[in-house]
Amino acid sequence: MKTKICGITNYVDAILCESAGADALGFVFYEKSPRFIHPETVRAITAKLHPFIIKVGVFVNSSPEYINEVVRIAGLNMAQLHGDESPVILEAISVPVIRAFRISPDFNWDILDAWRGCSFLFDAFNAKQYGGTGISTHHNLIPPARYGNAILAGGITVENIGEIIARKEKPLALDISSGLESSPGKKDATRVQNFYKILRG
């Protein structure tokens, strides 16, 4: 499975995750997040990363103009939409898009049909947070037909990655943030390295 480590806030963590085996790194451009980072700071980081690692910007209810400007300044390859955006925004964004959905027991799966030409990410629903909740209870709510074609996020840790690997249905990719942190916005080197040892093993 491919992996994206999200909530990168500094160069040391970026290199740690890249060296451990991450396929993509995520940078949060939502000012209310404890993992918020400025586009210029991201540019200083992405300029030193391997050219083949994917750099993803995470946005919450931002305008396409703002998204495209941040993509340009920060040197990003993709945009992840984590708010209440409308599908029409896809036509105006200059890079490929990952659309995140927060899953609850009453989630309407039919709304995915309106989103064409983008990848899907399934995260946990929390009324107070758009992401980075550390909640994994939604994993069993995802239909098998959706599970295998999506990015799985929410509450993925060193402790439960084995359960995800052991499932018959496997996600296309994993998106990990708080589960590999020592504090919000700071990655834990031991947890990151152990996570990839388990994933490979």
Catalogue the active-site residues.
6, 123
Pair 132, 111: CB distance under 8 Å = no
Distance CA 122, CA 130 (A): 12
In order of 50, 94, 124, 131, 180, the CA distances from 155 in angstroms are 27, 30, 8, 10, 10
In order of 31, 39, 80, 85, 89, the CA distances from 64 in angstroms are 17, 15, 12, 10, 7
